[in-house]
Amino acid sequence: MVVRNTLPSALIVTLVVTLCLCSSPVQSQEREPLKLGVHPYLSSSELIKRFSPLARYLGKRLERPVTIEISSTYDAHIQKLANGLLDVAFLGPASYVKLTGQSGRRPILAAFETMSGKTFRGYIIARSDSPLTSLAQLKGKRFAFGDPDSTMSHVVPRHMLLKSGIDINQFSEVKFLANHDNIALGVLSGAYDAGTVKQETFQQYKSQGLKSLAVSPPIPDHLFVARAGLPQSTIQELTKALLALKDSDEGRLILTGMRKDLVALVPGNDRDYDVLRTIMNDLKKAGLDL
């Protein structure tokens, strides 16, 4: 495996996972590398660790190299997929809804199924020793969000705040941080009075001194999609390979490497994300630019 990271002016981190496959000097188009894009919901080093085994597995199954490309922002990730610059993309639900709203549906290859099912939740958090006990007490406090296109570190909790009658202009300070870990650590350090993270991150840091002020409704989980125009035969191969992960020891290790509570990749349906479309439409009506 060869790892190549590039950081041009756009600050895009690229990981290239090259598999040792026998091929002719001039590859056919079908044997050219597949680009697997991942949005930056965690640090690049953590995402490299989590998705490299999957890239190697797909490369072996499809008998072609696979590259992992980690974009600098969620929106950059969405735009790459919209412009056909990624063959396969791992997306958060809000990013998928935004993509389909901007440029139409993409083939869904598979979706996450965890020990909790096909949905996940977000948490609005504070330090365990904080006097805060409800969302109503957040007015005048310092609050940390994640990327503006993140499902559980911005979109869904923003809707929760809206429904609770809280506008972010009522906070004394608002910051948009790079990822969920930064939010949890920022709250733990006291830099922010509260913030919002996905369930996985809350569980990871809870024992270090976090508590929940509110929990989101269940939202359909993350998914893999293919670019428009990818050959149908490749889509079928990818889908078969992803859905088969749960059926082998190697596959189950790949699944838990991506997320500890992940038990399978299962067929996904565009209709599953209508609940999130409603949430995002509510936010747009309230004047939020998504």
pLDDT tens, 25-36? 334 445 799 999
pLDDT at 207 over 90: yes
CA gap 182, 253 in Å, rounded:
26
- The rounded percent of the chain whose pLDDT value lies above 90 is 89
**Which listed CATH number (3.60.110.10, 3.30.70.120, 3.40.190.10, 2.40.128.20) goes with 13-114+221-281?**
3.40.190.10
Q: Residue 30 has what pLDDT? A: 56
pLDDT surpasses 60 at 233: yes
Transcribe 135-165 into DSSP letters.
Answer: GGGGTTSEEEE--TT-IIIIIHHHHHHHHTT
- The reported pLDDT for the residue numbered 31 is 76
Q: What are the boundaries of each domain within the chain?
A: 13-114+221-281, 122-216
Strands in the chain per DSSP E: 13-17, 34-38, 66-70, 88-91, 108-114, 119-120, 122-127, 142-145, 173-176, 194-198, 210-215, 219-220, 223-226, 262-266
The answer, yes or no, to whether residue 3 has pLDDT greater than 60, is no
Average pLDDT value for residue range 281-289? 95
Decide if 143 contacts 194 (C-beta within 8 A): yes
Number of neighbouring beta carbons within 10 Å of residue 198: 27
Topology agreement, domain 13-114+221-281 and domain 122-216 = yes
Phi/psi for 228 (5° steps) reads -65, 135
Residue 5 pLDDT: 37
Residue 260 C-beta-side C-alpha neighbours within 13 Å: 5
Pick the closest to residue 123 from 206, 182, 220, 179 (CA basis): 206
pLDDT(270) > 70: yes
CATH class of 122-216: alpha beta
Q: pLDDT band for position 193 (50/70/90)? A: very high
pLDDT number for residue 15 = 42
Average pLDDT over residues 171-198: 98
Other residues' Cβ atoms within 10 Å of the Cβ of residue 79 = 16
- Bigger pLDDT: 19 vs 169: 169
State yes or no: pLDDT of 81 exceeds 80: yes
In order, the DSSP letters of 27-39 are --GGGSPEEEEE-
Stretch 61-80: mean pLDDT: 97
For residue 76, pLDDT beyond 50:
yes
Contacts of 227 (CB under 8 A, 6+ apart): 81, 84, 86, 87, 88, 89, 106
Q: For residue range 239-256, what is the model confidence (pLDDT) as tens digits?
A: 999 999 999 999 999 999
pTM to 2 decimals?
Answer: 0.88
The mean pLDDT of 175-197, rounded to a whole number, is 98
pLDDT over 90 at 8, yes or no: no
Are 113 and 264 in contact by the 8 Å Cβ rule? The answer is: yes
Give the mean pLDDT of 46-58: 98
Q: Residue 103, exposed/middle/buried by CB under 10 A (0-12, 13-18, 19+)?
A: middle
Q: What is the mean pLDDT of the chain?
A: 91
219: amino acid identity, one letter: I
Burial 162-179 (b: 16+ CB within 10 A, else e): beeebeeeebeeebebbb
**Positive or negative torsion for Cα 265, 266, 271, 272:** negative
